[in-house]
Amino acid sequence: MIDRRIMQSYRGVFIVVEGCDGSGKGSAVAALGAHLMALGHDVLLTREPGGTDEGLELRRLLLSAEGAIWDEGAELLLMIAARIQHVKRVIQPALAAGRVVLCDRYVGSTLAYQGAGRGLSQEMILMLHRQFVDDFWPDLTVLLDVDARLGLTRSRARLVEQGLDEGRFEDLDLAFHQRVGDDFRAQAGRCQDRTLVIDANPTMDIVREAVLNGVDAWLAERVVA
Ligand code: TMP
């Protein structure tokens, strides 16, 4: 069982969107960010790996299909290094200032990709998270649950369309992405009270609407509570 301790001392709200490649996270995060801003929230949109200058450098190194061939352990530690910088320098200060932080991927991706996907110990990932990231977890995770094969097809097409050299994980086989998807669902099952699972197989319009409605309902309940 994963221990999820919320840092109650922060005034802001920390929302993370997770999912397999091609689940539509990018569009969902942009739409949700615009929606929350229109409602008057002070929103910070960010992503992992990335979110800081150092994180963006690491993103380039980690995601380039043409770039270095990383050992699995090095890949894990670089993902976590980017997260440490991001949480300490960007996310926690924004939450302390009362902002809504909307983040595309977080430690759930490390558990799914480096843990279930690569086969590294999830206990070790959680231990590193406790040690270096203050055991810091989102208030809400929105999981965009897509069929791995469909997601991979969408994601590979997008990389070609946009000419992006970020396809190192898309180059991995379907079985890898199925393990990732299964693990995201398992994480959601363990943390039902803090996870909103959205079927991400339909068209983006339908997914976007489900995300906005789900987050609105969660925020309304949170205010009442
Ligand atoms: P994306 O930002 O376009 O979703 O791409 C990020 C890629 O990095 C995606 O394939 C998942 C992968 N990733 C990990 O393997 N581990 C992590 O901890 C994070 C944040 C991302």
pLDDT score at 23: 97
63 CB less than 6 Å from ligand 1?
A: yes
Neighbours of 125 (CB within 10 A): 18
Contact assessment for residue 159 and residue 66, using Cβ atoms and an 8 Å cutoff: no
Residue 163 to residues 40, 62, 148, 167, 220: CA-CA distances in angstroms?
35, 17, 22, 10, 40
For residue 180, give the nearest of 133, 120, 129, 140 by alpha carbon. 120
Helix-helix angle 25-38:204-224, to 10 degrees: 50
pLDDT score at 1: 36
For residue 130, give both structure tokens: 């406790």
The preferred substitution site among 25, 63, 104, 161 for testing ligand 1, maximizing ligand atoms within 8 Å of CB, is: 63
Q: What is the Cα–Cα distance from 119 to 125, expressed in whole angstroms?
A: 11
For residue 120, give both structure tokens: 């590294």
Whole-number Å distance, alpha carbon 224 to ligand 1 midpoint, is: 34
- 43-47 and 13-19 strand pairing: unpaired
12 CB less than 6 Å from ligand 1?
A: no
pLDDT score at 136: 97
86 CB less than 6 Å from ligand 1?
A: no
pTM for the model stands at 0.95
pLDDT by residue for the chain (225 residues), tens digit each?
344 444 446 789 999 999 999 999 999 999 999 999 999 999 999 999 999 999 999 999 999 988 888 999 999 999 999 999 999 999 999 999 999 999 999 999 999 999 999 999 999 999 999 999 999 999 999 999 999 999 999 999 999 999 999 999 999 999 999 999 999 999 999 999 999 999 999 999 999 999 999 999 999 998 766
